[in-house]
Structure 1
Amino acid sequence: MLRPWWLGMLAFALLLAAVFAWLGQWQLSSALDTAPVEPGATENVRPLDDVATPGEYLSDPLVGQKVEVTGSFVADDFVIVSSRYNDGAAGFWVTGQLRIADAAAPTSLAVAVGWTADRDEAEAAASALNDDPPQGVTLTGRIISDEGPALPRAGAPATEMSRMSPAALLGVWHDVDGLSVYRAYLTAGEPLSGLTAIHSPAPEERGGVNWLNIFYAVEWAIFAGFAFYMWYRLARDAWEKELEELEVLEESPLPTRD
């Protein structure tokens, strides 16, 4: 173990252990929420601008936060999203593009304005709203993270949407040149056009400790110890191999001269 090669291997093991220890400390710091959200904070209605920023992801503590926003819906941009469940019942959402009022630049927010179990009813509501989109409305609802786009199911029309994704909706909206869009979307608290209110309960209260991160921190500590064990095991194996070779040499008869 005191030979230069194995001292070098020990230095390498120390370096690995230091990296693993740093990763463990980072996971541990991430596991402890130093600024937990107060119980019931998501039920306090806040201005949208205080919670989300166009083009940016919604931070976890703010998912499900109740917000208020004022704007006008854009004609011909009410779209149906399928595979929506309301208290366990399958159905459809009617969604629209809300152009934010008094924004410094054109800015839109995707809004789910109501639910129905019947596709024909959803199409009728979307058609009525496209013909006469509400203007200058103030909406209150929950802000939710983008679900991400998804391909239509087998046999469905290519235009069918089954995920609530502002990125996907942006592809079918009108008048989007130079438009800023929120990555999150809003589930309206009050439905439009005779639709049923979307069931959107308060998010579960999160604890101050993330046990998954703690588990990862323990794993990194084990890896740090394993780096030293591997150095010891390899050095011992090399030493034992040398002993075996010496024993073989000692047991072998010396060559004799004729």
Structure 2
Amino acid sequence: MQPGEYLPEPLVGQRVTVTGAFVPDDYIVVSSRYNDGVEGYWVTGQFRVATAEAPTSLAVAVGWAATEEEALAAAEQLSEDAAERPNDAAALALTGRLISDEGPVPPPQSADPLTLTRMSPAALLSRWSDADGIDVYRPYLVSETASEPLQQITTRPPDQGSGVNWLNIFYAAEWAIFAGFAFYMWYRLARDAWEKEVEDLEDAAAA
């Protein structure tokens, strides 16, 4: 998958591992995030992917907090930790599930104009401080681990399903019914024509 592309449906929720490093000062809090039915906040970060040829970033949901104060404090601490990381340090291996972009929406009228309520990499990109000339993946990653005091974000694996394409089966059945009806109509017309021809021959013979 290339930066900017939509996440194909079969890949939604798949577990992946990426390597790279978090960008300091680009930890942003997203509100209205539910974890096991409890509303709270996500702390998100810009993860610069190490394996990409051009500078490329992936938005990552790092962890969940019950209050905005906890989320902001965690974001500040994570930013400090990222800033202290040596430039020559080995790339981080980050594992989580890929999720489709939720799309940006304006905040409620009564809220702070900078409030984010959707996990939208496009909206996060507009807030990142280190984003000049970078490519960005459209989906985001939900990390399977969280740093204290954040809690792990609950995610579900994708439904494996039965592998049966019911739409194709429906179309096949529809065509089978149509073909059967067409054959029946042809049979009726052919039989009617044959019966009329027989009647005409009988009438001619009787005359």
Q: Specify the TM-score bucket, using the shorter chain as the normaliser.
A: 0.7 to 0.9
Residue equivalent to 1:178: 133
Query: What are the Cα deviations for residues 155-184 of structure 1, in whole angstroms up to 9, with x where unaligned?
Result: 111111111010110100122222011101
1:196 has 2:145 as partner: no
- Counting only pairs closer than 5 Å after superposition, residues 97-176 of structure 1 correspond to structure 2 as 97-133=46-82, 135=85, 136-176=91-131
Question: For the residues of structure 2 that align with 1:103 and 1:164, how far apart are their CA atoms?
Answer: 23
CA contact (8 A) 1:129 1:193 kept: no
Query: What are the Cα deviations for residues 45-104 of structure 1, in whole angstroms up to 9, with x where unaligned?
Result: xxxxxxx32111110001011000111111111000111111111110000000111421
Question: For the residues of structure 2 that align with 1:199 and 1:98, how far apart are their CA atoms?
Answer: 20
Counterpart amino acid of residue 96 in structure 1: G
Question: For the residues of structure 2 that align with 1:213 and 1:154, how far apart are their CA atoms?
Answer: 46
Per-residue deviation, 1:201 = 1.5
Farther-moved stretch of structure 1 (137-146 vs 202-211): 202-211
CA contact (8 A) 1:83 1:90 kept: yes
CA contact (8 A) 2:36 2:154 kept: yes
1:57 has 2:12 as partner: no
Question: For the residues of structure 1 that align with 2:24 and 2:168, how far apart are their CA atoms?
Answer: 46
1:91 has 2:40 as partner: yes
Residue equivalent to 2:198: none
Query: What are the Cα deviations for residues 119-150 of structure 1, in whole angstroms up to 9, with x where unaligned?
Result: 11001001111222275321110011101111
Per-residue deviation, 1:208 = 2.9
Question: For the residues of structure 1 that align with 2:65 and 2:167, how far apart are their CA atoms?
Answer: 38
Question: What SS class does the counterpart of residue 129 from structure 2 fall into?
Answer: coil
Question: For the residues of structure 2 that align with 1:167 and 1:155, how far apart are their CA atoms?
Answer: 23
* TM-score relative to the length of structure 2: 0.75
Aligned residues, how many?
172
Superposed CA RMSD in Å reads 2.3
Question: For the residues of structure 2 that align with 1:209 and 1:156, how far apart are their CA atoms?
Answer: 46
Question: What SS class does the counterpart of residue 64 from structure 2 fall into?
Answer: strand
Question: What SS class does the counterpart of residue 137 from structure 2 fall into?
Answer: strand
* TM-score relative to the length of structure 1: 0.61
Residue equivalent to 1:23: none
CA shift in 2, pair 1:158/1:214, >3 Å: farther
**Fraction of identical pairs, as percent:** 56
- Counting only pairs closer than 5 Å after superposition, residues 24-43 of structure 1 correspond to structure 2 as none
Counterpart amino acid of residue 141 in structure 2: L
The runs of 4+ residues in structure 1 deviating greater than 6 Å are: none
1:66 has 2:66 as partner: no
Per-residue deviation, 1:189 = 0.6
Counterpart amino acid of residue 4 in structure 2: G
Counterpart amino acid of residue 94 in structure 2: L
Counterpart amino acid of residue 94 in structure 1: V
Query: What are the Cα deviations for residues 200-239 of structure 1, in whole angstroms up to 9, with x where unaligned?
Result: 1212223434446766x59x97xx9xxxxxxxxxxxxxxx
Per-residue deviation, 1:193 = 3.9
CA contact (8 A) 2:23 2:47 kept: yes
